[in-house]
Amino acid sequence: MTPPFDILSESCLETIILRILELVPSARIAFLSSLGKRIHESAARVLFHTLIVQDDEQTLLPSVNTSSAAVIANPRRYAKHVKKLIVRDSDALMRTANIVTLPKDESSSSTCTPLSTTCLETLLKLYSNLEALCWEGCLQPPDGLCEILVGCNPRLRSFSYDPPALPLPQRKNLIKWDAPSLPLLADLPITTLRLSWLSQTGTRTFTSLLQDLGEHSTLEDLSVDFVWLDDPLCEAIAANGRKLRRLRLSTSGTKLTDKGIIAILEGCDALEDLLLDQIQGRLSRALWSKPTGFPKLRRLHITISESGPSHSWTTDHLMSLEYLPTAGLSEMSVTRTEAPPRIYNDVPMYDPTVDDTVSLQPLPAAMQRLFREAKSFTILQCDFWMFSITDIKMILDGCPRLESVQFCLDAPFSKLLTLTSIFANLSNLNQLRVSVNHVHAPGKPPVPLPPHGPPSLPTPTDSPVLKSKAVLPQLLDFDQMQNQTCLAKADLSDPSMPLLRDIKRFVRKCPKLETLEWYGKFGRGSWIVKRAVKSKISMNVSVEYRPPKISDSVWAMMTREQEFEMSNMRWIETVRRGQEWTGEKAELLAKERQVNNMDASACDGADGRSGRNRGRPKKIRASSISTSSSNSDLTPLTPKLSDGFPVQMFSPLTPPHSDFLKRLAPLHRERDDTEVRPPHQAKIPALGKESPSTRATGQEGGVAGEMRTLPGYLPRKDKDLEEVKGARIPGHLQHAVEGKKEDYDVKAKFQWRCIANG
CA dihedral over 698, 702, 704, 708, signed as positive or negative: negative
Model confidence band, residue 135 (pLDDT cutoffs 50, 70, 90): very high
| pLDDT greater than 70 at residue 707 | no
3-state secondary structure of 677: coil
What pLDDT does 122 receive? Answer: 92
Give CA separation, 2 vs 5, 6, 8, 32, 704, in Å.
8, 7, 11, 21, 96
Verify cis geometry, omega within 30 degrees of 0, for the bond prior to 652: yes
Model confidence band, residue 673 (pLDDT cutoffs 50, 70, 90): very low
- Spatial separation of the C-alpha atoms in residues 154 and 132, rounded to whole Å: 11
| pLDDT greater than 60 at residue 181 | yes
Q: Which of 179-183, 200-204, 528-532, 563-567 has the weakest average pLDDT?
A: 563-567
Q: Are the C-beta atoms of residues 677 and 740 closer than 8 Å to each other?
A: no
- Spatial separation of the C-alpha atoms in residues 255 and 626, rounded to whole Å: 10
- Spatial separation of the C-alpha atoms in residues 581 and 121, rounded to whole Å: 13
What pLDDT does 554 receive? Answer: 86
* Alpha helices, H only, 48-136: 67-73, 75-78, 91-95, 117-126
Q: Are the C-beta atoms of residues 297 and 261 closer than 8 Å to each other?
A: no
Enclosing H/E stretch for 721: helix 718-724
Q: How many C-beta atoms surround the C-beta of residue 668 within 10 A?
A: 11
Q: Which of 198-207, 521-530, 587-596, 638-647 has the weakest average pLDDT?
A: 638-647
Q: Are the C-beta atoms of residues 546 and 503 closer than 8 Å to each other?
A: no
**Average pLDDT of the residues of the chain:** 75
* Total-model pTM: 0.73
**Which one is predicted more confidently, 343 or 638?**
343
Model confidence band, residue 41 (pLDDT cutoffs 50, 70, 90): confident
Measure the CA dihedral 232/234/238/241, to 10°.
Answer: 120
Which residues are 244's β-sheet partners?
A: none
**Which one is predicted more confidently, 520 or 571?**
520
**Which one is predicted more confidently, 19 or 410?**
410
Q: Are the C-beta atoms of residues 68 and 55 closer than 8 Å to each other?
A: no
Q: Which of 178-187, 351-360, 365-374, 473-482 has the weakest average pLDDT?
A: 473-482
| pLDDT greater than 70 at residue 724 | no
Enclosing H/E stretch for 331: strand 331-337
Name the phi and psi angles at 707, rounded to 5: -120, 130
Q: Are the C-beta atoms of residues 163 and 196 closer than 8 Å to each other?
A: yes
Taking residues 660-682, report their average pLDDT.
Answer: 39
What pLDDT does 614 receive? Answer: 39
What pLDDT does 664 receive? Answer: 37
Enumerate the domain spans of the chain. Answer: 365-379+389-452+491-549, 686-758
What pLDDT does 595 receive? Answer: 82
- Spatial separation of the C-alpha atoms in residues 382 and 399, rounded to whole Å: 14
Model confidence band, residue 539 (pLDDT cutoffs 50, 70, 90): low
| pLDDT greater than 70 at residue 267 | yes
| pLDDT greater than 50 at residue 734 | no
Which residues touch 27 (CB under 8 Å, ≥6 apart)? 20, 21
Q: Are the C-beta atoms of residues 252 and 307 closer than 8 Å to each other?
A: no
pLDDT per residue as tens digits for the range 469-513: 333 334 344 344 444 455 444 445 789 999 999 999 999 999 899
Model confidence band, residue 627 (pLDDT cutoffs 50, 70, 90): very low
What pLDDT does 70 receive? Answer: 79
What pLDDT does 716 receive? Answer: 38
Q: Which of 197-201, 579-583, 601-605, 649-653 has the weakest average pLDDT?
A: 649-653
Q: Are the C-beta atoms of residues 317 and 288 closer than 8 Å to each other?
A: yes
pLDDT per residue as tens digits for the range 381-439: 999 999 999 999 999 988 999 999 999 999 999 999 999 999 999 999 999 999 999 99
Nearest CA among 546, 544, 563, 565 for reference residue 555: 563
- Spatial separation of the C-alpha atoms in residues 129 and 137, rounded to whole Å: 23
Which residues touch 345 (CB under 8 Å, ≥6 apart)? none
What pLDDT does 13 receive? Answer: 82
What pLDDT does 352 receive? Answer: 79
Supply the DSSP string of 370-419, one letter for each residue: HHHT-TT-SEEEEEEEEEPHHHHHHHHHH-TT-SEEEEEESS-HHHHTT-
- Spatial separation of the C-alpha atoms in residues 756 and 346, rounded to whole Å: 49
Taking residues 101-129, report their average pLDDT.
Answer: 73
What pLDDT does 11 receive? Answer: 81
Nearest CA among 551, 553, 533, 549 for reference residue 541: 533
Of the chain, the percentage scoring pLDDT greater than 90 comes to 40
Enclosing H/E stretch for 52: strand 50-54
What pLDDT does 99 receive? Answer: 38
| pLDDT greater than 80 at residue 8 | no
- Spatial separation of the C-alpha atoms in residues 621 and 634, rounded to whole Å: 14
What pLDDT does 307 receive? Answer: 80
Provide the residue type at 653 as one letter.
L
Of the chain, the percentage scoring pLDDT greater than 70 comes to 67
**Alpha carbon 14 to chain centroid, angstroms:** 31
| pLDDT greater than 50 at residue 255 | yes
| pLDDT greater than 60 at residue 695 | no
pLDDT per residue as tens digits for the range 277-329: 999 999 999 999 999 888 889 999 999 988 877 888 999 999 999 999 888 89
Work out the angle at residue 470's Cα, subtended by the Cα atoms of residues 469 and 473, and round it to the nearest 5 degrees: 140
What pLDDT does 351 receive? Answer: 80
Model confidence band, residue 264 (pLDDT cutoffs 50, 70, 90): very high
Which residues touch 286 (CB under 8 Å, ≥6 apart)? 258, 320
Q: What is the DSSP letter of 96?
A: -
- Spatial separation of the C-alpha atoms in residues 417 and 524, rounded to whole Å: 15
Q: Are the C-beta atoms of residues 114 and 56 closer than 8 Å to each other?
A: yes
Q: Are the C-beta atoms of residues 300 and 333 closer than 8 Å to each other?
A: yes
153 burial (CB, 10 Å; 0-12 / 13-18 / 19+) is buried
- Spatial separation of the C-alpha atoms in residues 308 and 325, rounded to whole Å: 30
- Spatial separation of the C-alpha atoms in residues 63 and 496, rounded to whole Å: 55
- Spatial separation of the C-alpha atoms in residues 670 and 636, rounded to whole Å: 12
- Spatial separation of the C-alpha atoms in residues 126 and 212, rounded to whole Å: 28
- Spatial separation of the C-alpha atoms in residues 441 and 73, rounded to whole Å: 58
| pLDDT greater than 60 at residue 150 | yes
